[in-house]
Every structure is written in C-alpha cells, then in structure tokens.
C-alpha cells in the first residue's frame, strides 16, 4: 500500500452518497447530497498559502433540489465566468440539469432544467469547449447515455435529439473527462459483470458541424486489469488518464495512472482512506485534489502528492 493522499481535511457535513469536486475562478468547490434529507449542497474549500485547507461553511449553499444520489459539478464558460453547472438525479429517478453559482461566492440557483431522461444512479458532467456533456446509466438497461446541455437565447436546453446511447453497460455511475489536445471526450466506467475498469473516447468534430453528437467509439475502448465495486472518477492530465476508485472486495481508495497514447499502466497507488461510494477528483494550479465520503459518512477532501499524479 502506497499512500497518495498527503494531506486531508474532514467536514462536519455528512452524506450517504459520493461527493463531486470541481474548480471555477481559481476556487475549489465540493458538492454533495445531504444525509437523510437529500438536499443538494455546494461549498467552497479554501486553500491557505501554507498548504492547509478548510471548508468554508459560511458560504455553503443548500439548494431546494433533492437528489437520489450524488450530484455532478463542472464549470460552464458559456453561462458566464464563474458559473457552475451540475446534474442530479432526484428520488423519482428523473435526471435533472441544474444551473447555478457565481464567482462572488453567492451560489444562487438560477434555473432548473428537467431532461425527461431516467437513471438509477448518479450522473456525470463535463465541460467540452462550448457545451456541458452529461452522461448517465440508463434506467433498467444499464447502457451508457450521453447528451449535451446547450446555451440558447431562451436559456439552457437539454439536447435529447443529440443523445447517444452506447452498447457498453455499467451497474454504476460513468465518468467524463475532456482532453483538449487532441480534442477528445473520454468516458470511464466499471464493466457490468466483470467490474473491470474501461475507457473509450469520442473524437471532437468542428463546432459548426450540424447535429454534433457525443458518440463514443467502441473501437477506442481499452480495458485495464483493475477492478472496482463502484463507479470511477477520471481526470485527464496531458497524455495521462487518472482513475480514482474504490477497490474490489475492499473500500480502499485507489489511484491508477494510464498512458492515453499506448494504453499502458504507469502506476497504481492504494490509500489507507476508505469509502463505500464513488470518490471525486479534479485539478487546480497543477495539483490534484480528491474528495470522498468516509465510512463515518463525513465528507473529506485531500491533496494528492505531486509525484503520484
């Protein structure tokens, strides 16, 4: 076991699902579903010059929306600098796209968008140049679905006509991460039945292309001899993909780095920190941060050692 989390902080807040982690305007934000009440929460994490961190509870926002699983959070440049976009699945299983947040720290909910898509798990969201892509596991069929949220004069729209449905299946949450060069959107997932980690991508098209879709190419699929009892979180760093996931047969957090060009495994590290749910990972100022719900149901955020990410 090689610990990759060099520093972590524990929140007073609790959840009965995995959190989400994202950055906007030079700040780190954590989002989660409140334990017992299932309201969606968002809170900044302050990073101090000496490397320490703390949860800024005075700026925590509790939305009026409930979620049946953990939310997904990502920045959205098209809604204005500092906007946050996340998607949640409510207790009825209907996938929702929610718009909110500004740079000044007043995380106000500005608009709700109901997609009329259904899922039994938490969704994923990732900004792809001009659009936010949302991925989810289909209700009852376990197929990976993906569709963009687009900004129009009338507001946000969920482009169901541009939805793609993969033949790949997962019993857990899928994950998304964009690689700017080359222009590719990656989806990572834990396979149905074998619980093995998988990865494939959609090659980006010109933005003027009519009815552009996020169609993931099964010909690009790579499978790694690593296993999980939950959905992974993924994050691109240059030519490396980082997987963060709970182990198979245990609840240890695992960090796997793979080469995106040749598919080889660069390194794997196992943490002593434990979680029953999907963790989250993001990057800010050249540093990787992770978040998870501990076995005590409290939220944690940690900093990954630079030589391990």
pLDDT digit string (tens) for 153-183?
655 667 777 888 999 999 999 999 999 888 8
Residue 32, both tokens: 């989660």
> Mean pLDDT across the stretch 99-103?
43
Burial of 44 (0-12, 13-18, 19+ CB in 10 A): buried
- pTM of the full predicted structure? 0.92
- Please provide the average confidence, as pLDDT, over all residues in the chain: 85
Q: Scanning the structure block, which residue is given the tokens 């969920």? A: 158
Looking from the CA of 245 toward its CB, the CA atoms found within 13 Å total: 30
d(C-alpha 176, C-alpha 187), whole Å: 5
3-state secondary structure of 58: helix
Place of tokens 């909110």: 100
The C-alpha angle with vertex 291 and arms to 245 and 99, in degrees rounded to 5, equals 105
The 10 Å Cβ neighbour count of residue 56 is 15
The span from the CA of 194 to the CA of 233, in Å, is: 18
Task: Please check whether residue 304 is in contact with residue 290, taking contact to mean a CB–CB distance below 8 angstroms.
Answer: yes
How far apart are the C-alpha atoms of 38 and 40, rounded to whole Å? Answer: 6
Pair 131, 185: CB distance under 8 Å: no
- Bridge partners of 67, per DSSP, are none
When pLDDT is cut at 50, 70 and 90, the band that residue 139 belongs to is confident
Which residue from 126, 147, 140, 137 is spatially nearest to 168, judged by alpha carbons?
137
Question: Could you tell me which residues come within 8 angstroms of residue 309 by beta carbon, excluding any fewer than 6 positions away?
Answer: 4, 237, 242, 255, 257, 288
**131-140 burial: b if 16+ Cβ within 10 Å, else e:** bbbbbbbbbe
pLDDT in tens, 183-193: 899 999 999 99
Name the band, by pLDDT with cuts 50, 70 and 90, for residue 70.
Answer: confident
Task: Indicate the pLDDT class of residue 44, thresholds 50, 70 and 90.
Answer: very high
């Amino acid at each position: 076991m090689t610990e990759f989390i060099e520093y972590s902080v524990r929140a007073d807040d609790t959840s009965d699902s995995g959190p989400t982690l994202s950055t906007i305007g030079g700040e780190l934000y954590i989002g989660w579903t409140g334990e017992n009440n299932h309201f969606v929460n968002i809170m900044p994490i302050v990073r101090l010059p000496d490397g320490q961190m703390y949860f800024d509870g005075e700026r925590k926002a509790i939305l009026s929306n409930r979620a049946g699983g953990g939310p997904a959070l990502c920045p959205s440049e098209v809604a204005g600098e500092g906007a946050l976009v996340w998607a949640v699945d409510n207790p009825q299983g209907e996938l929702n796209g929610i718009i909110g947040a500004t740079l000044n720290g007043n995380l106000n909910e500005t608009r709700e968008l109901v997609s009329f898509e259904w899922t039994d798990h938490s969704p994923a969201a990732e900004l792809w140049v001009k659009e936010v892509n949302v991925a989810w596991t289909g209700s009852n069929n376990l197929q990976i679905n993906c569709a963009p949220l687009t900004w129009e004069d009338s507001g946000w729209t969920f482009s169901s006509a541009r939805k793609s449905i993969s033949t790949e299946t997962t019993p857990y949450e899928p994950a998304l991460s964009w690689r700017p060069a080359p222009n590719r959107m990656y989806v990572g997932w834990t396979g149905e039945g074998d619980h093995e980690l998988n990865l494939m991508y959609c090659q980006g098209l010109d933005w003027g292309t009519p009815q552009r879709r996020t169609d993931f190419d099964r010909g690009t699929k790579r499978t790694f001899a690593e296993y999980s009892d939950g959905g992974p979180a993924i994050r691109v760093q240059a030519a490396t993909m980082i997987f963060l996931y709970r182990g198979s047969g245990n609840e240890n957090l695992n960090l796997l780095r793979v080469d995106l060009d040749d598919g080889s495994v660069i390194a794997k590290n196992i943490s002593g920190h434990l979680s029953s749910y999907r963790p989250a990972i993001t990057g800010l100022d050249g540093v990787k941060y992770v978040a998870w719900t501990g076995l005590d149901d409290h939220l944690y955020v940690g900093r990954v050692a630079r030589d391990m990410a």
